[in-house]
Structure 1
Amino acid sequence: MSKAIFITNPIFASDAWGNNHPLAISRQRSLLDFCSALGWTSSQNMAICDFASLNQLSQFHSEEYILAFQKASRDLKIDAAGRAEFSIGTLENPLFDKVFERASASVGGSILAAEIALGGKVAFHPAGGTHHGRKDKASGFCYFNDPVFAILTLLEAGLSRVLYVDIDAHHGDGVELAFKADKRVHMVSLHEENRWPNSGALKDNCAQICNLPLPKAINDSEYAILIDAICEKYVDFDAQAIVIVAGADCLKGDPLSTMALSNLGFVSAIEKLLKLAPVKIVLGGGGYNPWTVTRAWALIWGRLAGFEIPLALPPSARDVLSGLECDLIDEEDILPEWRDSIQDKGNAGEIRDEINILVGSLSKF
């Protein structure tokens, strides 16, 4: 039996987001195709999640918002007042076929992830990680907030020490807002400074909230120092469970951030963090370069499930990468390794003063 479970649903592989949207790159379909080409998917290590019910969704989201979103998804339209109130039907959060069902499946996947993790296996839900969603509206490409439901499921199971770590390039504002008054949940967010949603400052840190706004172009060496410091800080918290939002927009080459991690540094960080708790959940998140996100999430899955990481890709896996495209990335900016291998070259570098200041800040709260 597999020690890790990959959670998915057929709806995640369907066309979505329409045209001219950063997420119109079929991330889940390419990830599944790539992992399948590597021989890393089977009935033994995959689980199909259900759609979250209206009753489940109402454990966090307002009934008014849920019903308005459901109707707008069905009608594929919403009036100006509803658009302004709920932030759906916008360029940021567009309406498209079965958008409500897709968002509900993300929540269902995070609920299932928590249940699987509580049962002793590592849960990997790459279609999760919609960390900007608010109680009563959509935000930042996130219609619901599935990480909230993973955490709620853990708390409902009786856990009293849950660690949430968000390594997406964008601050995990929605999750922070949801649990800032709940002392059972400690939250860490490493995100790029001065980037939307322009929250998560050092001044906001307290006993249960740790925000680390990162300077531009952070490298593997700098990131490793920060992750090691976080692990040292939170080892005494003795977390019973950890939920990680593994947004791949922190990788070098992503069009929506200037962060410069290799996927080796990215996966190393996740593996270190997972050692902090016995109950382990890894969700997806951002990531708008189809080559880097596909390879990084596949690399996570390969490591979690214990597969041998190939130095050379089989032709079928290279075909998946060669077939990807992205309007936000020019052909001349596509690195050869994005199409030829699963692992990046590392991106070691100097440690800037800003990083040492961030490490020092961890002892102040």
Structure 2
Amino acid sequence: MNASGPLPRPLFIGHEIYRASTYGRWHPLRVPRVSTVIDLSRALSWLPREVYVTSPRAKPAALTGWHTPEYVAALLRAEAEQAVSEDVRARHHLGTPSNPVFAEMFRRPATAAGGSLLAGELLARGGIVFHPAGGTHHGMPDRASGFCYLNDPVLAIRSLRANGAARIAYIDIDAHHGDGVQRGFEDDPDTLVLSVHEAGLWPRTGALDEIGAGNVFNLPVPRHLNDDEMGLIRDDLILPAIAAFRPDAIVLQCGADAVADDPQSHLSLSNNAHWQIVQGVMGMAPRLLVLGGGGYNPWSAGRLWTGVWATLNGHPVPQVLPDTAEQVLRGLTFQGNKRGRNPDPAWFTTLRDVPRGGPIREAIRAAVLKLAERF
């Protein structure tokens, strides 16, 4: 951390634990993601040693600011024993198909949580941090949920506040509703929680009229949301809401599962839509933390988040990737999914998707207008 002023350039928080760790052979999170972003960014000379920060692993005591001591102890025990009792499964949702027992089931999420806690400290005097392993927005105080064993965005917001940010805007553009973060701050007037997510998709929360007692905005969007519709949402909802709130810090959960090529949702965005939101929020607060989130196609997630890092640094995205970067993408596999058997050739040679524009549906205009009337 720069003791005399804001960070002089964006920092990237990563760790090698994500390279080999997997939730299981058939789990959606069997695919490499963070390691792909690291390797692509290095292949493009965008990740020099001086901006890469190795994420610490959060100690159990640091997790109990949000999670219960009983849950943290159960998660530690489940990793050590590689098994859970029926009582633990029922009470804490560990050892389920969504939240399986696997070798690093405490160490991996605790590393992501440690990165988010560290980000709050690094941003004490301002700047930009990118933490693609973060964004596990479903974790609840006493249970795992939706592949999320811990809730690192909640911990990030708490860390930012402990390090001087009084008002924090949390923006979530993952395909799934950020239910855990909403629960953490729905009654907090000093935290703006705004989630744009696919209507009807698990966890089937985040209705338009779910507002809480604080500053909660939910925009469930219909299937096949296109880039032009997301542009409207950006310009008429996200950016004005942030401007009206005047935050000291912005946390952007940039889930890559909202693009057309992801197998877990039904939206039709290109990665341009995410990059344009990243560009739009830059400079709107003295502190910016960008997290990852969902993303279950290794090519689309890796390319999207590498483009986020490019956007944060002002690097131009090449039309055609150099051979070193292409080889990173050609080295990925996607077993058990039809997209992996017949990948789009552009996934090997480009970062930027072809834009996916289209007409703006009146239902989306009306919903955005309804929310915009609140600020």
The TM-score with structure 1 as length reference comes to 0.96
CA displacement 1:198-217 (0-9 Å, x = unmatched): 00001112550000000111
CA contact (8 A) 2:176 2:203 kept: yes
Aligned mate of 1:260, from 250, 263, 268: 268
Aligned mate of 2:258, from 250, 253, 256: 250
- Which deviates the most, 336-345 or 227-236? 227-236
Deviation, structure 1 residue 340: 1.2
Which residue of 2 is the match for residue 156 of structure 1? Answer: 162
Which residue of 1 is the match for residue 343 of structure 2? Answer: 334
CA 1:157–1:84 in structure 2 vs 1: closer, same or farther (change >3 Å)?
same
Q: Secondary structure, in 3 states, of the residue corresponding to 1:69?
A: helix
Deviation, structure 1 residue 306: 2.9
CA displacement 1:287-345 (0-9 Å, x = unmatched): 01111100000001112123332222111211111122222233565322111101111
- Paired amino acid for 1:214: V
Matches within 5 A, 1:259-338: 259-326=267-334, 327-331=336-340, 334-338=343-347
Which residue of 1 is the match for residue 178 of structure 2? Answer: 172
CA displacement 1:205-257 (0-9 Å, x = unmatched): 25500000001111110001011112123312111100011000011110001
Which residue of 2 is the match for residue 196 of structure 1? Answer: 202
* Cα distance between partner residues in 1 of 2:313 and 2:48: 11
Aligned mate of 1:143, from 146, 149, 154: 149
Q: Secondary structure, in 3 states, of the residue corresponding to 2:135?
A: coil
* Cα distance between partner residues in 2 of 1:329 and 1:166: 28
Matches within 5 A, 1:72-87: 72-87=78-93
Q: Identity of paired residues, percent?
A: 38
Which residue of 1 is the match for residue 191 of structure 2? Answer: 185
Where do 5+ consecutive residues of structure 2 fail to align?
Answer: 1-6
Aligned mate of 1:227, from 234, 241, 255: 234
Q: Secondary structure, in 3 states, of the residue corresponding to 2:49?
A: coil
Which residue of 1 is the match for residue 358 of structure 2? Answer: 349
CA contact (8 A) 2:89 2:96 kept: yes
Which residue of 1 is the match for residue 224 of structure 2? Answer: 217
The TM-score with structure 2 as length reference comes to 0.94
CA contact (8 A) 1:93 1:143 kept: yes
Deviation, structure 1 residue 10: 2.0
Count of aligned pairs between the two proteins:
365
Q: Secondary structure, in 3 states, of the residue corresponding to 1:148?
A: helix
* Cα distance between partner residues in 1 of 2:105 and 2:341: 34
CA contact (8 A) 1:8 1:49 kept: yes
* Cα distance between partner residues in 1 of 2:306 and 2:232: 24
- Which deviates the most, 31-40 or 46-55? 31-40
Where do 5+ consecutive residues of structure 1 fail to align?
Answer: none
* Cα distance between partner residues in 1 of 2:39 and 2:202: 31
* Cα distance between partner residues in 2 of 1:123 and 1:137: 28
CA displacement 1:239-283 (0-9 Å, x = unmatched): 110001100001111000111111112100121123321110000
- Which deviates the most, 255-264 or 26-35? 26-35
* Cα distance between partner residues in 1 of 2:76 and 2:93: 13
RMSD between superposed Cα atoms in Å: 1.5
